[in-house]
Structure formats: structure tokens, C-alpha cells
Structure 1
Amino acid sequence: MNPERSPYPCQRCGTCCEKGGPSLHREDRPMIDDGRIPARCLFTIRRGERVRDNLKGDLVPLTEEIIKIKGCADRWTCLFYDRATRGCGIYAHRPLECRALNCRDTRRIEAVYDKTRLARQDLLSGVNGLWDLIEDHERRCNYEALHARVEAGIHEGRLKQEKAILEILRFDAHVRRLTVEKGGLDSRMLDFVFGRPLCDTIKMFDIELAKKNGVYELAVTPAFSREQPIG
């Protein structure tokens, strides 16, 4: 099945690109290796994060990580999409999902959507020192461990495992800062190397990180109303 051929040619409306950059597959690796898609333009959604599945139309925890092209500023719009011209800055070298997607005939994108997805190990396992750091970060800051502590519930308005959760968030922030300041990593690479900051993604648990009188604490949102463990 050739993803380049379709009885429904693209109308360049930009809707697909506005909804976010594509997930990358192993077939896309050569474009990253040779810099046509720079690694600083990527970010990782790690295993256990809750994301919207565009095919299922629901929020689901990832069973395997996904590497995607970043959005523009505070929007999901693909970094390489030009709103003014409704064009793609890397059209000649666009990823597999972009070549397969047609909003009026989704059979091709459905066939490749969750197959042969690219992972950080494919790209970074050969980088001495860095991959060890990524693995250590994954052990100490994985979403399964975070969820287990949130699952303990709240008591008198505070999370029972607040101290342990804050420790995970501190380590995540420390590793990012250390890798830039001491390791010389381009800060634009952080969301790719370590995934999105936990201080941002903690919101998926209906929890917010707040600073009060110079001290960080966790605040539960109205959606988190249970005084007992989460079932």
C-alpha cells in the first residue's frame, strides 16, 4: 500500500498540522540521523503518561513511549507548519505518518499508527554516559512510581505521599539542570532526552505544583476530591 497515492488529494486546510506534530517511526530515523529533522525539534511522551488517542478519541496511559515533533510556542501546531502559506517546511522529507494521513480516508494512517514507533533507545543508547543517565532518570521518575504515590489519596486536604512525590519532581528538575549546566546539553533537547518536565505533567493527576512562602507544595485541584485511595 503506497501512502503517497490517494483518491483524495490533500486540500492543504492545515487541520491535521494544527492538531500537533506526528509521532515518529523507525522509518523516519534517517531524517533524524542526518539532521533533516533536528533532535532539538522533538519531544518524548514517556510510558505511563496519559495522552489523547486520536483514533480512539479518549485519554489513555501510554504502554510505550512516543517521540513526536514539537508544537509552536504554546500551541500544539506542528513546528514545521507555516500558517501563512499553509505549507510544510519539511514536506519533501515529511515523516511516515504525514505521508500516510488523509483526513478523508484514514485507512493508511490506521495501518501504521501504532507500528514500529521510534524510541529514545533507538537514537541515544550509543551516547556514552547520557543513556545511563536517561535510564537512571527513568527508574527514579517513572510514571508508575508517581501514580502509586498519588494513588495513596489525600488526608485533610493534603496528599498522603506529598513528600515522596515532591522528591521525584525535585530529582527530575535536578537532572535537567545538571545536564545543561555541567554536561553542556542544549536546553532545547531536554524534552526529547528526558520527556516533558514532571512539574508540568503532574497536572494529569489533577495536582498542581505551587510555591508558597518560598516553599514548593502540591495542591489538589477540585477534580481531585477523594479522601481515600484512588481505585
Structure 2
Amino acid sequence: MNTGQDLPVNLTRRHLLQAASGLALAGAAVTLPAAAMAETVNMEELLKPGPLGDHILGAEDAPVTIVEYASMTCGHCAHFHKTTYPALKADYIDTGKVRFIFREFPLDAVAAAAFMLARSVPADKYFEIVDIMFEQQKAWAFTDNPYNSLLNFSKQIGFTQESFEKALTNQGLLDAVNAVRDRGANEFGVNATPTFFINGEKQSGALSIEEMGKIIEAKL
């Protein structure tokens, strides 16, 4: 699994085509039993945002904070966001019990490109775009030509070819996405996606709402 490999300078058509060969591995991210990952990290350090800032949902004074590290080309991440996340949002985030922070951990160039596009939309649309990307992941991520697939998908969410290419050739944006990934790996031991920190307690794998709810309830 890729946790520290540098992504290329700018994400051109060539880079995205080359990345297609690694998507099978990225889509099969390791899912570990929750009990095997019951280590904790320093919350003060964990909550320091990356260079682009954090995208956050929920009340600032919520008793439980969940930080998720995910890859847009990870099938387990997509499964979590399709099955568990809606109930998590309705039952815990929207009710003031959980503050939810979503962070980038791209496993390949295609995932990095998707995050760069999501970071290029207005901030209040970020989670909406991430949801759509996970919902339609198979249409743009797992193809023989991810550049064209991602370009076609981006046009559905408001990009033009010009704005698409501008986003993917923004070196500062790519560096910032890399920095979030690298800090997650090097400082907090993220080595699988999705990885969650629930009040600092590390859990890996696409947890069900029952599994996640049990952990949350114990911390309320």
C-alpha cells in the first residue's frame, strides 16, 4: 500500500494514464479489525490543520471528534460513505454529538487529482462533491483512461476543460494534498484507508454504523 510515495509534479494526462495500472491495489485497501488498531494519538497535534485547512462538519463543542483519512480511489472508503456515513451524519453529526473532519490520503495520482478538483470548488460545496465522487467512483476511477473519465466527470460538476487542467497543474495544491497525506502517515501512523481517529483512538476499515456507534456512545 502506498503511504509515502511522492506524486508527480503536476497531474498531466500521462501521469493519470500511468496511474491506472495501480488502481486495483488502491481499490483493495486493507481493512483491519477495529480491535487491532486501538492505539491513540495526541489530540492537540491531530487537530492542527494542514496547509489548506480542514473541512469540518458538526458542532465545534461536540463531545466526540472524528478525523477520517480517506482516498478517493479506495473502494472501502466509498463503501463507508455510501453505507455508514449517512447514518453517522443524521444520528451523530447533525445532532451535535460528533464533529467530523475529512482529510486527504491519496493512494495514487488519480485520487490526488480527485482531491485537487474537490479543493477547487467553493468550500461550501466540498462535502457535496466528495459524496458524489464516492457515489460515482466506478465511473471515473476504475477505467482504462482515468484522465478522460475524470475530465468527463468534472464537467458534470461544473468544471470546464480549462478549469479542470488549471486545477490539476496547480503545484501548490498538489504539494498541500501530499503534505496532509505524508503527515497522516508519518505522525499518526495512517497505513490503510479509511482510517478514523475517534477522540484520538485509531480505527481502520469501513466501520458499520453499529461498530462506529458503539465507539461513539462509549465516549459521550
Asked if these proteins are the same fold (TM beyond 0.5), I'd say no
**What is the TM-score normalised by the length of structure 2?**
0.21
Going by fraction, where is helix more abundant, 1 or 2?
Answer: 2
**What is the TM-score normalised by the length of structure 1?**
0.20
- Bigger-Rg structure (1/2): 1
Going by fraction, where is strand more abundant, 1 or 2?
Answer: 1
**Structure with greater contact order relative to length (CA < 8 Å, sep ≥ 6):** 2
